[in-house]
Amino acid sequence: MSDTATALLDQARSWMDQDPDPRTRAELAALVDAAEAKDETALAELRSRFSGHLTFGTAGLRAEIGPGPARMNRVVVSHAAHGLGAFLLEKHSPTTPSVVVGFDARHNSDVFAKDTAHILRAMGLRVVLCERVTPTPVLAFAVRHLDVDAGVMVTASHNPPADNGYKVYLGGDDGGSQIVPPADSMIHRAIMASHDHSLASSLPRSDDYDTAGAELIEAYQRATLQLAQSFPVEGRATLSICYTPMHGVGGDVFHSLMSDAGFSSLHPVDEQFAPDPDFPTVSFPNPEEPGALDLAFSHASTVGADLIIAHDPDADRLAVALPSPEGSWQMLSGNELGAILASARAKDAVLKGETGVIGFSMVSSPIAQVIADHHGLTGQDTPTGFKWISRLPGLLFGYEEALGYLVNPETVRDKDGISAGLYLACLAAELHAQGNTLWDALEEVRREYGGFASDQISLRFDTMTIAQSVMGEVRAAPESVFSSLDIDSVDDLLTGGEGDVAVDLIVFRLAGGSRMIVRPSGTEPKLKVYLDTLRPEQSLAESDLEGLRISVRSAIDELLARVTDV
């Protein structure tokens, strides 16, 4: 056996010695035994798991559960908690910092949350651990509501069942938003120092922490219910809504909130209502993915629903589907739903004499800026991610096309599918009482502000390396890769972004006002291509989009063929 392989096996054995989880210890022991018997597959798997440490970035940690520093496990989480605690103690010295910890229903989420609470409390921090599974928006709310210095949410959102993750919010001057640079790199350095100087099994632990139960959920519901006061109550009792939490943790909270708001015709998709970490009825627990809403479509047709509301597993994203004239169900795109909500929120602000900001990510449709301008409000785009949108001063409404919406920024400083779902349902009920639907609201948006059309080409790869390679090809010769397009300008925001924020994103502005944006996913081995058109008439916008889609798809296929051959 080579010296490199021997060193790898020694590293794996050292990891086992500090792992408090018997399941991951056994999994790693089996791989070590197989590798010692010269099983090349086992050796390759060990290399993958020990190829480096998970990087704690602005999305926190997220990876497949399993042993090793490149996976999510109790060793990684223990050091993450220890590093976070060290960061907070230094940041808030000489006072005692405070943290609230929440978790969803994924595999090991409760274990990771308890490890975090135990370690932070033993370090002297004041800790509040949620007693039950908690939607991400409720944890984000808790940071502000409990006036703590930080929040930890154990979740992998809409990732595959085998994954889990760890995200951090900061209170105080950060207002309860997710971390942004330089806090992410500072926390990462503290985490790596914990790995270097301590063993997870030897870190002090204490169960002398506080807990939060039903009272936290009730406080969130009371604060969120105030959104319904801006709408008339007519139509709520008769509007028929099919609802699915996608096997996640939003079901009980949303159902109770909707009942309190007067929605009495709510039809849950029973097979998907209870939290289940295996997500057995969907191939991928993301309402954006093809087939994810098939059960909801079927159930909605059976009960004669007027619309479908869906959340992703941690309930921070909102999806909505409507019956089409042909009798099938059609999901609104993130930009279509965002435009409806932005228009409603802007009109409400004007009616109340409010001024402020309509915030949206760079990859969202430019219709958001048009809506803001039309109502004399400020439109502001940001890098992708609600960690940026939620920090905009004077924010009235924020959205990103990936089904993320924030309708009550004074209550929550992150995307919130639950509050957005209530707001959307109230708008739909008001329309319903008038004999109209959300299709009519979308048509009104296009009449008032102009036609817009959007599409996304999502390319999923086996590894991040392939996605980065494809992005590198585009970055090296953007006009050559997309030579069939009539390009006015190319802006690479990784090297030419505004301010101090570097963004891994390339913007193509095309003749006629169309736009294409290419960027890698920050959490998955994916590359995303965003296509947007904006024209006075919707038919023109759709025609432009169709031609753009064909040209871009052809160019991407040629690029993938070249990269695959290398």
For residue 293, the tally of other CB atoms under 10 A from its CB is 25
Q: How confident is the model at residue 501 (pLDDT cuts 50, 70, 90)?
A: low
Q: Mean of the pLDDT values across residues 354-378?
A: 97
Q: Mean pLDDT over all residues of the chain?
A: 94
- Asked if the model's pLDDT at residue 148 lies above 90, the reply is yes
Q: In Å, how far are 70, 160, 165 from 60, measured between CA atoms?
A: 13, 17, 7
Query: What global pTM score does this model have?
Result: 0.94
pLDDT tier for residue 408 given thresholds of 50, 70 and 90: very high
Mean pLDDT confidence for 202-214 = 97
**pLDDT one-digit tens code per residue, 75-107:** 999 999 999 999 999 999 999 999 999 999 999
Burial class of 150 by CB neighbour count within 10 A (0 to 12, 13 to 18, 19+) = buried
CATH code of the domain made up of 55-212: 3.40.120.10
Determine the pLDDT at residue 433.
98
Q: Given pLDDT bands bounded at 50, 70 and 90, which one contains residue 196?
A: very high
pLDDT of residue 327: 84
Torsion of CA 523, 382, 189, 10, to 10 degrees: 10
Give dist(CA 386, CA 415) in Å, integer.
Answer: 6
pLDDT at 130: 98
Over residues 471-482, the mean pLDDT reads: 92
Give residue limits of the domains in the chain: 1-51, 55-212, 214-437, 451-565
Q: What's the CATH architecture for 214-437?
A: 3-Layer(aba) Sandwich (3.40)
Flag the least confident range among 115-129, 230-244, 356-370, 549-563: 549-563
Q: What is each CA distance from 412 to 223, 391, 396, in whole angstroms? A: 10, 11, 12
Position 285 pLDDT exceeds 60: yes
Catalytic site positions? 157
* Common-topology check for domains 214-437 and 451-565: no
Contact (Cβ atoms closer than 8 angstroms) between residue 505 and residue 363: yes
Of 319-333, 407-421, 443-457, 522-536, the poorest mean pLDDT is in: 522-536
> Which superfamily, per CATH, for 451-565?
Alpha-D-phosphohexomutase, C-terminal domain (3.30.310.50)
Q: Binning pLDDT at 50, 70 and 90, where does residue 495 land? A: confident
For range 66-70, the mean pLDDT: 97
Residue 450 DSSP code: -
Overall average pLDDT of the 155-172 stretch: 96
